[in-house]
Amino acid sequence: MGRFWSILFLLVPIFGVGVFLWAMADWWPMQGHWLPENINDYGHVIDNLFYFILIITGIIFVGCSLALFWFLWKYDAATNTEPVKYSHGSHTLEVVWSILPAAALLFIAIFQLNAWEDQKMRRPILNSGADGIEGTADDVLRPPLVQVTGRQFEWRIRYAGKDNIIGTEDDILTVNDLHVPYGEDIVVQIQSMDVLHSFFLPNLRIKQDMVPGMKQFVWFRVREPNVNNAKAQKYDIVCAELCGWGHYKMRGRLTMESRQDFDRWLASQWDEQNRAEFKLTSSAESQ
Amino acid sequence: MSKFLLRSKFDRHILFEWILHTTMLSFIRHRCSWPLGLLCVAVLAGCGSPEAKFRRYETFAKKTGGSESPRTGLPENQWRGIDEALAGLFGTPDQPIIPAVENVSLVLDQRKLERAAGPVHSDELWVGMGLYREHCAHCHGVTGDGNGPTAPFLNPYPRDYRPGWFKFKSTPLGAKPTHADLKKILIDGIPGTAMPSFKLLPEEEVEALVQYVKYLAIRGETERRLIVLTNEELDEGERLVSFDVAHKSGATEAEKEAAQKEADERFAEQLEMIKETVSGVIGRWAEAESAAVEIPQRPAMTREELVASRQRGRDLFYGTIANCAKCHGDSALGDGTTNDYDNWTKDIIDPGKPDTTQEMINQYVALGFPEPRPIKPRNLRQGVFRGGSRPIDLYWRIKNGIEGSPMPAATPKPEDNPFAKGLTPNDVWDIVNYVYGLQFDPLSQQPQGFGNPLVKTN
Amino acid sequence: MSSAAVPVSAGHAHDAHGMSVGEFVRTYVFSLDHKIIGLQFLFSTLLWFLVGGLLALGIRWQLAWPWTDMPVIGRMLFSAEGGQISPEFYTTLFTMHATVMIFFVIIPILAGAFGNYLIPLMIGADDMAFPTLNMLSYWFMWPAFILIGLSFFWPPYGAGGGWTSYPPLSAVNEAAPGSAFAQTIWLLGVTCVGVSSMMGSVNYLTTIIQMRAPGMTMFRLPMTIWGMFITAILQAFALPVLTAAGFMQVTDRMFGTGFFVPEGLVVNNSEPYSGGGHPLLWQHLFWFYSHPAVYIMILPAMGIVSDIISCFARKPIFGYKPMVYAICGIAGLGFIVWGHHMFVSGMNPLLGMTFMVSTMMIALPSAVKVFNWLGTIWGGRIQYTTPMLFSLSFVSMFLIGGLSGIFMAATPVDIFIHDTYFIVAHFHYVLFAGTAMAVFGSIYFWYPKMFGRMMDENLGKVHFFLTFIFMNGTFYTMHILGAVGFPRRLADPYDYETFRHLMPMNQFMTICAIGMVATQVIFAFNFIYSMFFGTPVGRNPWGANSLEWMAPSPPGHGNFDFQPIVYRGPYEYGSPEVDTDFYPQTQPPPSDPAKRYKPDHH
């Protein structure tokens, strides 16, 4: 039976790696069972780190699992005639296999500090301020284009409008439908009206909890696609923090479009928001 | 293969192929899929599933019947009569039918209803079905009685469609909402309530849902009238006709005809009455489409004119003609009159009346009536307007009032008599401007929350 | 047995027949005997294990066939809706699944059941230091069972704030009004579990420090006891924080104190809360306990697995002291890594960096342990018994769970995978594929000690094989879902275009999960059947070294029928000093010094 069980444990690395490769290869029936398309310029680094860790952990996983298999195969009491190795351990080995993983882990940790800062701490700037040097205290930060407020159970969206200030009369309000232009640094101010929500954009590799009482910012930039297929692209906005019974209902939509289309869309929203006349004849098509 | 697997959003073949392939058993697929399928069905499906049923409108029957009536308002056999009449006219939650009366095609469309009705599943072409129960029923209930499992702890309660009253609409008080009104609510949601926006659903799904809401409202209103009819026209022990035979699916044309004929002969008069009832309800829905109130163009204004307009609006707000402050409060925080109830409550029992006892309320609560809560006038300083915040929405709210709530319609000022009390369209626009502007008033601003000191916020 | 055995107290096993009612109650219900208390914990937790597993099936059903009629539960509670559950019931389902599994199964089965049963036996004591406290620690579980059981069914809906109970959702009544009172009693129930665990931990610490048999130095303790010892320290120091936080949230709910509620909060059209608190405070307090709790849930399992692997590899454990230091290291670091649950919670991102480094570092002692387990089976003579198979699968699966944790520790990657099924995969690999497998292994291993009869090995192997296959079918695929960003706790994720195509995968997982739960019927049958019809065994059926195997099976009151004296550590398998391949701790060394083993190095 030892052979049988050894092979069962051999299947672990085989299937373990196999399933991941299968999903990565996008083969039937696991098409689209892998990282969704990334469109955020700041998001590639997350994907790269993911693969980097995947490769490192994959090697350790396969190595350890094969060692486990080999020991199980070789030292099965039913077939192994050698006497037991009466050993209490090896000081050298302990030191080696403490220091190597420690170095690797520390490297992984330090390697990604910069990526983390880019994601969460270095908000894009509008200009570098009086001293002309980026990264100093007098940098003028990019103001948020839009404010997204989580609410049980929808995303209330408020564009800053012409004056670039949120909370004034020229704000443009929508719900669940976020449009942003390509090719620009976009800063979104996020907050919550009631409980915790989490602003999750899978395709942008963005996730940030919205905490009532806190004003936070997320930022991203989407490169303009080729002119040939430069039509608006739509992505999901997901709530990733349990916010009550209707948690699953908090579905939003992000539409990426060119600056002209975006401005046009914003203007049409503004017009609709200020609709101040109603005639019966027009009621059939639009209201 | 099984009813059970069909109910998933995906086709069953996909599921089995997927399982078989991922377990590398594809080579035995043709021999083994049946036993495997049967095994899954046996293990998973249990023994059949309960069918969703429309709930009886017992609160209304009880109220109509008075304190002498049985606990559920009507004796069981009279309820059966109503059940059967309704089932004949409207079908069941799983198989809706459109009542066979004239003009019904103006209001309801059988195919859209079928899309929205029934349990959540997908048809042969993977089209999602059972939309109402997927998106709406857990609040609004299978019956549309605003009493789904989630309903009791929402504030405000989900709408009960059965009286056929809808708050946010373009038509005057008493009229039904237009199709576009209901659709707007579905698409934009109702800010400040638990009604979310369904903007991201495909157009045809929203259409199907609007249709189904109308269907439930018409069914509910018919039920109300049948209850009244039973109470007023029938003797004790007598019940409504059973004419669902004529509509039973599976019956052949000849059977249907015979059954219809028999029912016609025996109960011609009663049938006529019921049909009249239904077509009356449907007629009012059809009329509504052309009953939307027109709104004259808001005068174009400069910044200074807008300020002046708001000042005039403010005067009207606190004045004796519009007198908004009476309910919405001197501060416009919605704290003026806070002890009134909405019509959905008052229709059954008015807790505001001095002779209403808790015991009387409990009697209805036991029948599924939501625990009454006072209706609050809107806090106008938050910029949250439930029926929409476009100028025309606010105009309609002021001009038409809000159905079912204490918000009255504005009295129009006769054009020929400058001394009569009332509001001109420009007066209404002034109030709209004032009310909309309140959210930007310095007094309305919330204190700023604490930020994250290490993330620069400028 | 041992020539130095000095009988001090004959085992006075009571005969259940001819016992008065009062005597029966004292012996089997309000017993002060650590073994009875351990078995009480074991039976209670196994029953809750069943409940938790069925709740998991409810969750899986909804994810595979959303809004279809859920068997049994849907038909019982939602017949008016055609058996279709409501979304808040789904939140209740996953809240209760996690609560039951964590607070009623894993923590009490390790510390309560095996801790109680094994600590006095393995250190050579006749009972716990404080038998009454020990009894209380079990009976304090009952208020928790009742409160949390009630909170599941309390109308209109049970607690639905997730097992993490994040405010304001769980602190403000209006946020989840369906679980108004249920959430309060849920918190009180969790507090009771905390009190019970604290009583237990004080007892374990005292017992292990004070009551070891002569010759049983700290470095001769079996790894199981080390695991329990460190766990008890973690519980003693981390639990007060959770208990305090739980009470703070209860006062927030009942008296409007606002520790966790920001100023002016309005939810579901409630009156504004005076607030003044901060939601993140709860997360800090909660994870300050609950992260160490993760180690509370794994360290004893690591200890148990070390013992079982060494026993069935018939070989001394590889690197005993490094293993002990690794456990201590995990416990120490365990107190400074809680922030990794909060990388995207709104916590200061700078703090996220420090937590990332400490979290990366905690992977190190875990890695050392895995290497040492591999070292232990290297060069052994492996006996493929059921407990050994479960322990080996612990090593294999813990490897997956540990490595997937590195993804989460990396803050930028965590931005993407936080609160997705990648996390769900990770902690199920650690807690189910890890700890639960170790628990099964230890039940098979110590069953003969507990009941004096063997469990059926063939059934055990079938149970292992099916559980292993179905478990991986259920949980491994979760990594793939997580990579797509599939979020946790969504009642119907298929409204999102991004996740719509994942439904067949979820159906596959659900079928595996059903298979996994069904497999446990084999275990339940084996467990109950063997109690009456299993092969009777003597004291030491596995040929193991540690002290509990020197006592009768089952041990009578007072445990040992002789005074155990300990001469060496518990892992002297295959020692050249003796002819047998095991060398019990109580067996005196050979009198002839020439026969004594002299190591080549050190």
Backbone dihedral region of B237: left (phi > 0), alpha (psi from -120 to 50 degrees) or beta? left
Contact C344 A194 (CB under 8 A): no
Q: Please report which residue ranges of chain A form alpha helices under DSSP H.
A: 2-25, 44-74, 91-111, 113-120, 259-273
Of B191, B392, B456, the CB nearest to A141: B456
What pLDDT shows up at residue C314?
Answer: 94
Measured distance CA(B210)–CA(B182) in Å, rounded: 6
What pLDDT shows up at residue C274?
Answer: 79
Contact B455 A253 (CB under 8 A): no
Chain B residue with the nearest C-alpha to that of A272? B390
Average pLDDT over residues B11-19: 45
Using CA atoms in the order B12, C474, A37, A267, what is the torsion angle rounded to 10 degrees?
70
Please report residues of A whose CB lies closer than 8 A to that of C172.
195
Using DSSP's 3-state secondary structure scheme, residue C437 falls into: helix
Chain C residue with the nearest C-alpha to that of A80? C381
**What digits encode the pLDDT tens for the residues B53-77?**
899 999 999 999 888 888 888 988 8
Best to test chain B binding among C61, C265, C269 (most B CBs inside 10 Å): C269
Q: B90: distance to nearest CA of chain A, Å?
A: 28
Judged against a pLDDT cut of 80, whether residue A285 lies above it is answered with no
Please report residues of B whose CB lies closer than 8 A to that of A141.
456-458
CB contact, 8 Å: B125 with chain A?
no
Contact A280 B290 (CB under 8 A): yes
Contact A287 B180 (CB under 8 A): yes
Please report residues of B whose CB lies closer than 8 A to that of A275.
390-392
Q: Give the bridge partners for A238, in sequence order.
A: A200
Residues 307-346 of C with CB under 8 A from A: 313-322, 344-346
Contact B196 A280 (CB under 8 A): no
Mean pLDDT comparison of A136-140, A166-170, C173-177, highest-scoring range: A166-170
Of B93, B120, B454, the CB nearest to C68: B120
Query: Six-digit token pair at B197?
Result: 């926006």
Residue with tokens 């059921």: C386
Across A32-46, A133-147, B346-360, C10-24, least confident range: C10-24
**What digits encode the pLDDT tens for the residues B171-182?**
999 999 999 999
What pLDDT shows up at residue B248?
Answer: 52
Using DSSP's 3-state secondary structure scheme, residue C21 falls into: helix
Q: Which chains touch B (3 or more CB pairs under 8 A)?
A: A, C
CB contact, 8 Å: A28 with chain C?
no
Residues 163-192 of A with CB under 8 A from C: none
Cβ-Cβ contacts under 8 Å between B and C: the total is: 126
Please report residues of B whose CB lies closer than 8 A to that of C83.
49-50
Q: Under a CB-based contact definition with an 8 Å cutoff, are residues C331 and C298 in contact? A: no
Using CA atoms in the order C16, C20, C21, C26, what is the torsion angle rounded to 10 degrees?
-70
With cut-offs at 50, 70 and 90, classify the pLDDT of residue B186: very high
Judged against a pLDDT cut of 90, whether residue A233 lies above it is answered with no
**What digits encode the pLDDT tens for the residues B301-345?**
999 999 999 999 999 999 888 889 999 998 888 888 888 999 999
Judged against a pLDDT cut of 50, whether residue A9 lies above it is answered with yes
Residue B228 CB burial class (10 angstroms; 0-12, 13-18, ≥19): middle
What pLDDT shows up at residue B344?
Answer: 93
Please report residues of A whose CB lies closer than 8 A to that of C504.
29
Judged against a pLDDT cut of 70, whether residue A282 lies above it is answered with no
Angle between helical axes of C141-153 and C87-99 (0-180°, round to 10): 170
What pLDDT shows up at residue B243?
Answer: 52
The average confidence (pLDDT) of chain B is 82
With cut-offs at 50, 70 and 90, classify the pLDDT of residue B264: low
Please report residues of A whose CB lies closer than 8 A to that of B189.
154, 175
Q: Which chains touch A (3 or more CB pairs under 8 A)?
A: B, C
Query: Six-digit token pair at C68?
Result: 């279809």
Query: Six-digit token pair at B323?
Result: 């007198």
Q: Which chains touch C (3 or more CB pairs under 8 A)?
A: A, B
Of A64, A240, A248, the CB nearest to C87: A248
What pLDDT shows up at residue C17?
Answer: 58
Q: B405: distance to nearest CA of chain C, Å?
A: 17
The segments of chain C whose pLDDT lies below 70 read 1-18, 599-602
Query: Six-digit token pair at C306?
Result: 């070390």
Contact B295 A153 (CB under 8 A): no
**What digits encode the pLDDT tens for the residues A55-107?**
999 999 999 999 999 999 999 999 988 888 899 999 999 999 999 999 999 99
AA identity, residue C114: F
What pLDDT shows up at residue A127?
Answer: 84
Please report residues of C whose CB lies closer than 8 A to that of A243.
169
AA identity, residue C517: V
Chain A residue with the nearest C-alpha to that of B289? A284
Please report residues of C whose CB lies closer than 8 A to that of A19.
476-477, 479-480
Residues B240-277 as b or e (16 or more Cβ within 10 Å = b): bbbbbbbbeeeeeeeeeeebbeebeeebeebbebbbeb
Best to test chain A binding among C406, C429, C458 (most A CBs inside 10 Å): C406
Q: B398: distance to nearest CA of chain A, Å?
A: 14
From C480, C423, C328, C438, select the one nearest C98 (Cα to Cα). C423
AA identity, residue A209: D
What pLDDT shows up at residue B21?
Answer: 44
Using DSSP's 3-state secondary structure scheme, residue C596 falls into: coil
Please report residues of C whose CB lies closer than 8 A to that of B46.
71-72, 75
Across A209-218, B126-135, C153-162, C303-312, least confident range: C153-162
Instruction: Please report which helix (H) or strand (E) contains residue B20, including its range.
Output: helix B12-22
Q: Under a CB-based contact definition with an 8 Å cutoff, are residues A217 and A123 in contact? A: yes
Measured distance CA(C252)–CA(C169) in Å, rounded: 12
Contact C83 B376 (CB under 8 A): no
Query: Six-digit token pair at C565?
Result: 């004296």
Measured distance CA(B176)–CA(B167) in Å, rounded: 10
Residues 251-270 of A with CB under 8 A from C: 251
Q: B18: distance to nearest CA of chain A, Å?
A: 6
Query: Six-digit token pair at A169?
Result: 């009369």
What pLDDT shows up at residue B65?
Answer: 87
Contact A140 B458 (CB under 8 A): yes
Q: Under a CB-based contact definition with an 8 Å cutoff, are residues C252 and B175 in contact? A: no
| B363: number of Cβ within 10 Å | 17
What pLDDT shows up at residue C74?
Answer: 83
CB contact, 8 Å: B192 with chain A?
no
Query: Six-digit token pair at A244?
Result: 């009550």
With cut-offs at 50, 70 and 90, classify the pLDDT of residue A229: low
Chain A residue with the nearest C-alpha to that of C413? A46
Measured distance CA(C482)–CA(C345) in Å, rounded: 19
What pLDDT shows up at residue C2?
Answer: 39
Instruction: Please report which helix (H) or strand (E) contains residue A173, including its range.
Output: strand A172-175
Contact B292 A217 (CB under 8 A): no
Q: Give the bridge partners for A175, in sequence order.
A: A156
Measured distance CA(A106)–CA(A109) in Å, rounded: 5
